[in-house]
Structure 1
């Protein structure tokens, strides 16, 4: 009988994180969830309470435990990555960090962007920036992830994977409020602000990214990998899918040259090439096939 894997999940106890944990448990893995104690883990998972930003607290909570894989759902800065690298080197055979499409914030191509467009080994790490300031971290989300990847890529002592996650849709527990933004405006006819040249993006369903992360835990590749469904969506198509459930409303778009725009509206390309993951063996769905289901789930109109 094959020995159960020991998997640690840091944070991520909601949305696709809780779905990942459920998949790992269903596969027979021994799952430990580490967080600050703000929420209990799903039934069947072990629980460690520690502040992942406090090296002493984290080391004490882990004790002598070792893991086959660690999935870090809440690594946002290079300082957090550096601490994790110190603590988990020698404790795990595989470190899976959830990264983001936002690492490509400086890329703008008509082609779908491939992983090599952002080589973390070439990214400058600036530990002296105010990474302890929540407002700074929020406003530098993509850069924080870029530099966190760079920290893990800087050495060979901790085999790592950086899963660059596309924009996630679906589920009745989407806490971001981004689709609600569009829903409210379609209902009232209030203008939806978009860039004058509004470019499409790649997306992934909440269940699909949970599947992807569970698959990545058991794979043996390393380095950055894009996780996105096949196909691109523009804001107008997303709103059209919402409008099906809002027959009394209408989508009115207002293009602006500068300033704040609605979520999922982009002046630059956010399309990711998923061919590396496909070659490695993961099968993605098509965004247009699952979009109606995702919208219905988010609006609470799913089955």
Structure 2
């Protein structure tokens, strides 16, 4: 009996499932059991012994200790979420701006693209163990301690004291001023976390048909109008992609993950560390769900 020919949509769905198969197999064989064990540990007190380990059921005790007893955990959670709320929009805006610039034709374009992607390369391997923000702060502190006359100027510039006073003098509201000066203070951090997003945006910009821009120029559209009517809608799906990536990336290595690792492998309290990890994971899921729900409603998909 001859099989019915699959439609184009069915072939696309099958191809997508084939691409997902390695991830599904990896999840089943390498991640499913540790996830289940982590959930078990979070509700128990784990004690190591000569014969392995024993679990004593404690219910929600570890979660209560993480949220109501351990003051550092909730404070670190608040700090990490605040940094994410400030950094992620800045990373998206900066990445799109740089990608638009790098998409133009100019001498040395390939070298310039490599320079902006360089922070991603430097963030791997041994260099990843260096706390860049702390390293920069140590330089500033050493400069101030040594009495370097330029140290105060540099520190004042990085903290945006002059910019804040200037914006307040011209009548800008304090909330906007604090956000803008915070953006200036985070320039190094934003640039170092924008390499992948720039590449994704650049790939999306290069996939836009030139005929759309040619038609807009014939109709008399300005560059500003072409950006908001053509470029921005066409790359809006990638804004959602970069948003999800940036949110997850901002939660990978911070004070919360360091505290969880410390409690697990230094204090050897695996029950409490598992509870903290699941609280942290639940918070990330909620933030991602809200962000995707709000942004996906404005995404334009070109058929």
Query: Which structure has more strand as a fraction of its residues?
Result: 1
Q: Do they fold alike, i.e. is TM over 0.5?
A: no
TM-score (norm 1): 0.25
Q: Which has the higher contact order (CA 8 A, sep 6+)?
A: 2
Query: Which structure has more helix as a fraction of its residues?
Result: 2
TM-score (norm 2): 0.25
Structure having the higher Rg = 2
